[in-house]
Amino acid sequence: MKVLVTAKRVIDPYVKVRVKSDGTGVETANVKMTINPFCEIAVEQAVRMKEAGIVTEIVVVSIGPLQCQETIRTAMAMGADRGILVETAEEVQPLAVAKVLKAIVEKEQPRLVIMGKQAIDDDSNQCGQMLAALLGWPQATHISNVTVNGDSAEITREIDGGLEKLTVKVPAVVTADLRLNEPRYVTLPNIMKAKKKPLENIKPDALGVDVKPRLKTLKVEEPAKRSAGVKVADVQELVAKLKNEARVI
C-alpha cells in the first residue's frame, strides 16, 4: 500500500528560541532548522512498514518555503521514496495545512497518512485530526503502535495515564507519539541517494486551496520569568503556594 507522510520544517529543538524584540514572532532567520521530531517518527514508521513489506511506496509532503526541500531530503534519506513540496512563503495554519493535504491525498490516493501528533513550533496538535475530518476518514492520534490488517488497522494510543486500543477502518490518518519508535540515524549512502530521488514542487494555488490565515497573531512575548524565591513557614503554606501560585500540583 501507498503511505503519505508529512514533514514540517521547524526550529531545531536544541536551539533556544528567541522572541523577536518587536513582538511579532520568534526569530527564525539564520536559526538552525530541522524536521519536526514527531514528523521524523512518522517517517520512521512508514519506513519500517516498508521494510516489513506492508508498504510499497512512501510519499513525503512538506509545506512552506523552498528550504523545506532539505526537510524532504532528510525524510528521503531515511527511506521515503519521493517528495512533494507545497511551496509558499506565507504562514500556513493547521486548517489550511489540512486542506492542502486533502488535495494531495485525493491525487495520490494513499491508504494511510502518518503524521506527527504536533509540530514543536506552534504546538497546535490539529492537522491530523482535521485532515481525517475533511476526508471523512477515521483517525488515531498519539499512537504508540499500529498494525494494518487489510481494511483495518489495530492501534494503540497514548492517553493521559495509560493506553487505549482502537480498531480503525483503512484508509485512515494516524498521528505519531513519542513512543511509536525511535528514528534511525540517516546513513551516509542514503544521504547521497536522497539527492537523486524525485521531488515535485507545487504551489497551493495549483491545488485550488486558499491558505490565508484565520488567526491573527497580535503579539508574541517571552513567558514570565521565574520570580525570586520565597521562604515559606511550613508545609501548609508550601502546598498552598504550589497549588495556587505555581500551579504545579
By CB under 8 A, the residues from 23 to 42 that bind other proteins are: 25-26, 29-30, 32, 34
Q: Which of 105, 132, 143, 174 binds other proteins (CB under 8 A)?
A: 132
Q: Which among 162, 120, 164 has a CA at the least distance from the CA of 140?
A: 164
Q: Does 6 bind other proteins (CB under 8 A)?
A: no
Q: Does 151 bind other proteins (CB under 8 A)?
A: no
Q: Does 234 bind other proteins (CB under 8 A)?
A: yes
- Close Cβ partners of 45 (under 8 Å, ≥ 6 residues apart): 5, 114, 146, 176, 180, 181
Nearest distance from residue 38's CB to other proteins, in Å?
Answer: 13
Nearest distance from residue 69's CB to other proteins, in Å?
Answer: 8
N- to C-terminal Cα separation, the chain:
46
CA–CA distance, 128 with 148 (Å, rounded to integer) = 18
Q: Does 169 bind other proteins (CB under 8 A)?
A: yes
Nearest distance from residue 227's CB to other proteins, in Å?
Answer: 8
Which residue intervals of 63-177 are DSSP H helices?
68-78, 94-108, 127-135
Q: Which among 67, 95, 89, 113 has a CA at the least distance from the CA of 209?
A: 95
Draw the binding track, 66-105, toward other proteins (x: CB under 8 A; -: no contact). ----x--xx--x---------------xxx--x-------
Q: Which stretch binds other proteins (CB under 8 A): 50-58, 81-89, 128-136, 201-209?
A: 128-136
Q: Which of 21, 89, 150, 185 binds other proteins (CB under 8 A)?
A: 185
Residue 56 or 125 having the CB closest to other proteins: 125
DSSP annotation of 227 reads: P
CA–CA distance, 181 with 5 (Å, rounded to integer) = 15
Amino acid present at 27 = E
Draw the binding track, 196-225, toward other proteins (x: CB under 8 A; -: no contact). -----------------xxxxxxxxxxx--
DSSP annotation of 110 reads: -
